[in-house]
Amino acid sequence: MLDKFIKGLHRTREAFKSRFDFLFGNKEINQEFFDELEEILLTADVGVETTAKIIDSLGKRLREAKIRERSPAREILKELLVEILEADHKTGLSLAPAPPTVFLILGVNGVGKTTTIAKMAYRFTREGKKVLLAAGDTFRAAAIEQLDEWSGVVGAGIIKHQSGGDPSAVMYDAVSAAVARNVDILICDTAGRLHTKTNLLEEIKKIYRVINKSLQDAPHEILLVLDATTGQNAVAQARYFQEAVPISGLILTKLDGTARGGIVIAVKDLTGIPLKLVGVGEKKEDLQAFNASEFIEALLS
């Protein structure tokens, strides 16, 4: 029984290759079309709820525009998805009117927070900005060393305490140092934490309070890092973190793999948090500003 099952799986996989031509070829729009579209969205991790919504609105728009052919439907679908991702137009990083700008980076374990911070720092140092990193992951073994190594590579300063120390104290020192040293950008690393651990969410709230008290209007962005391979749990992650602190944007990492990262559509749809940056590789320059139209193009092809 299991063998048969696995064989079936291979067959469907092979069939998948020619699917897109089929979906948007010169044929009429019927139930089959919507079924295929559902499959494309679900397999990109868009999720059951948001997929249903997208298919509903697409159907409505197609009826309104009296479109019966598949080829023009593609553009309408693309428009619709870009609209979801770009609603509110808050996709760029906001900087403080006067330096330093403080970015606080959060996320569950293993999504790539530290590497992302290094890439962000590299972007800013290359622009000639003075960048400082706060080694706020005092929990994971060697996390401080990891950030320290990166700081040397990308040419940023670093404020660090001993492993096991209080991350809020690191943040306090980092903000003070950023002000004293006329730093342009301060990027704060935090330990990976599952969103279900109440005490760790309390710790994040404290970190936020300490930064906010040390510098008015800081942090200027609180960015949640999501792994593109993550499934529906990312929505729960966004919701729990959002409850603790005002998350202002998402960073989607590991888009260089085979995962299409459709989960950000669900997260935007269900929590309103916009995607701002995407990680597309392991090198320090592999971080890009998010472009909704390109992203959707890749998701659908």
Question: Counting contacts by CB under 8 A, is residue 165 touching another protein?
Answer: no
DSSP 181-224: TT-SEEEE------TT-HHHHHHHHHHHHHHHHHSTT--SEEEE
Q: Does 258 bind another protein (CB under 8 A)?
A: yes
* Nearest CB to another protein, comparing residues 45 and 184: 45
**Judged by CB under 8 A, does residue 198 bind another protein?**
yes
Burial 208-221 (b: 16+ CB within 10 A, else e): bebbbebbeebbbb
Identify residues 2-21 at the interface with another protein (CB under 8 A).
Answer: 2, 5-6, 8-9, 12-13
Task: Give the 3-state secondary structure of residue 88.
Answer: helix
Cβ distance to another protein smaller for residue 111 or 159: 111
Look up residue 250 and give its amino acid. Answer: L
How buried is 83 (Cβ within 10 angstroms: 0-12 exposed, 13-18 middle, 19+ buried)? exposed
Q: For another protein, which residue of 75, 256, 285, 294 counts as binding (CB under 8 A)?
A: 256
For another protein, the closer of residues 112 and 219 by Cβ is 112
Q: What's the rounded Cα separation, in Å, for the pair 299 and 301?
A: 6
* Interacting span for another protein (CB under 8 A) from 18-26, 70-78, 98-106, 138-146: 138-146
Gyration radius (Cα) of the chain, Å = 22
58 in contact with another protein (CB under 8 A): no
Output the smallest distance, CB 300 to another protein, in A: 15
Interatomic CA distance for residues 157 and 147, integer angstroms: 10
- 93-112 residues in contact with another protein (CB under 8 A) are 108-112
66 binds another protein, rule: CB under 8 A: no
DSSP state of 131: E
The residues that touch another protein, with contacts defined as CB under 8 A, are 1-2, 5-6, 8-9, 12-13, 39, 42-45, 47-48, 108-112, 139-143, 145-146, 148-150, 163, 194-196, 198-199, 202, 227-234, 236, 254, 256-260, 263, 282
